[in-house]
């Protein structure tokens, strides 16, 4: 299956993508994670992306589309993938459509995670992520680790993403509404959008998502 996950920052895309990718046996491809890996390794791409990420802006399309395409053409992605954070605007969506189309492929579904804005802000403010694996996500009040600052899963150090501060979150939300939301209409025109509520327990949201994808595949 080839799936795109959309939703505002804090909707739980990364958390859900990790579970869904495992359930569906496809790789989880997160452009945010790819950028953060490049930044921590100090690559030229990371240096280019950092200023945009720190400001809550989108990294330019020329950089992002090439990076996403490279990752999608790796051998583990031949039978499908779950895209998290890409595409993030209509230009990227059209580039993705064209590059899949050139290989005779197409997306199967666009899973839209819906969550009210006040919930998003609360979720992001308390979010703590493991340095070893970005799928290990905690929240200081909703899902606290057993030991403060330490990942329950692997013992890694938990940190707050630098772009999770309030001012940058507001900027990211504004960018989401302006740039990313229009891709939902773009894909609605192709009959691909499946919307679910991202409220409630992580496992309930995963179950809801799996059922919605199954219903969609059967339709």
Q: Which residues are catalytic?
A: 13, 88, 127, 161, 172
Secondary element (H or E) of residue 99? helix 90-102
Contact call for residues 88 and 4 (beta carbons, < 8 A): no
Comparison of 174 and 211: residue with beta carbon closer to ligand AMP:
174
Q: Is the bond into 4 cis (omega within 30 degrees of 0)?
A: no
Of 84-113, which residues contact ligand AMP (CB under 6 A)? 85-86, 88, 92
- Here the contacts of 115-118 (C-beta below 8 Å, separation 24 or greater) are 115/7, 115/8, 115/10, 115/11, 115/12, 115/197, 115/198, 115/199, 116/199, 117/8, 117/173
Beta bridge partners of 158: 130
Site membership for ligand AMP, residue 32 (CB under 6 A): yes
**Options 123, 128, 136, 172; binder of ligand AMP; rule CB under 6 A:** 172
Site membership for ligand AMP, residue 9 (CB under 6 A): yes
**Options 16, 31, 38, 206; binder of ligand AMP; rule CB under 6 A:** 31
**Which of these, 146, 124, 127, 147, lies nearest to 138 by C-alpha position?**
127
Of 41-70, which residues contact ligand AMP (CB under 6 A)? 52-53, 56-59, 64
As measured in angstroms, the least distance from the Cβ of 64 to ligand AMP is 4
As measured in angstroms, the least distance from the Cβ of 74 to ligand AMP is 17
Binding interface with ligand AMP (CB under 6 A): 9, 31-32, 35, 52-53, 56-59, 64, 85-86, 88, 92, 163, 172
């Amino acid at each position: 299956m080839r799936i795109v996950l959309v939703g505002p920052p804090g909707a739980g895309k990364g958390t859900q993508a990790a579970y869904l990718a495992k359930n569906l046996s496809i790789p989880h491809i997160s452009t945010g994670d790819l950028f953060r890996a490049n930044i921590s390794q100090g690559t030229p791409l990371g240096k280019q992306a950092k200023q945009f990420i720190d400001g809550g802006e989108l990294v330019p399309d020329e950089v992002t589309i090439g990076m996403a395409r490279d990752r999608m053409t790796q051998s583990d992605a031949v039978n499908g993938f779950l895209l998290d954070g890409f595409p993030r605007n209509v230009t990227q969506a059209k580039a993705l459509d064209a590059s899949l189309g050139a290989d005779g492929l197409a997306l199967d579904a666009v899973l839209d995670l819906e969550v009210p804005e006040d919930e998003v802000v609360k979720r992001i403010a308390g979010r703590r992520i493991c340095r070893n694996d970005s799928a290990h996500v905690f929240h200081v009040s909703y899902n606290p680790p057993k030991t403060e600052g330490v990942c329950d899963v692997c013992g890694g150090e938990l940190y707050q993403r630098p772009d999770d501060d309030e001012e940058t979150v507001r900027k990211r939300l504004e960018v989401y509404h302006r740039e990313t939301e229009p891709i939902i209409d773009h894909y609605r025109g192709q009959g691909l959008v499946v919307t679910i509520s991202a409220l409630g327990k992580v496992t309930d949201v995963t179950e809801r998502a799996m059922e919605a994808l199954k219903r969609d595949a059967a339709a």
